[in-house]
Structure 1
Amino acid sequence: MTDFSYVRTEMLEERPAPTSQTGIVKWLRENLFSSVPNAILSIVALWAIYFTLSHLLPWVFQSSWTATSLKECRASIAAAHGEGTTGACWAVIRERYLQLIYGFYPADSYWRPNLAFIMMLVALAPVLFNSIPKKMMLFTALYPFIAFWLLWGGSIWLPLSVIAGFVLGYVALNVVSKASSELVGMIACAVVPILWFLFFAGPVADIMQGIIPISLESVESAKFGGFMLSILIGITGIAFSLPIGIVLALGRQSDLMIVKVICVGFIEFIRGVPLITLLFVASTLLNYFMPPGTNFDIILRVIIMVTLFASAYMAEVIRGGLAALPKGQYEGADSLGLDFWQATRLIIMPQALKISIPNIVSTFIGLFKDTTLVSIIGLLDPIGLSTNIRADQYWNGIIWELYGFIAVIFFVFCFAMSRYSMYLERKLQTGH
Structure 2
Amino acid sequence: MSLLNYDADRLAQFTEEITHKYEELKGRNLALDLTRGKPSAEQLDFSNEVLSLPGDNYTAADGTDCRNYGGLNGIADIRSIWAEVLGMPVENVIAGDASSLNIEFDLIAWSYALGNNDSPQPWAKEETLKWLCPVPGYDRHFTITEHFGFDMIPVPMTDEGPCMDTVRELVKDPAVKGMWTVPMFGNPTGVTFSEKVCRELAAMDTAAPDFRIMWDNAYAVHILGDEFPEIHNVVAMAEEAGNPNRFWCLSSTSKITHAGSGVSFFASSKANLDWYSSIANVRGIGPNKINQLAHAQFFGSAEGVRSLMRKHAGSLAPKFNRVLEILQQRLGDYDVATWTTPEGGYFISLDVVDGTATRVVQLAKEAGIALTAAGSSFPLKQDPNDRNIRLAPSLPPVEELEIAMDGVATCVLLAAAEKAARQA
TM-score by length of 2: 0.22
| Higher share in helix | 1
| Higher share in strand | 2
- Tell which has more relative contact order, 1 or 2 (C-alpha 8 A, sep 6+): 2
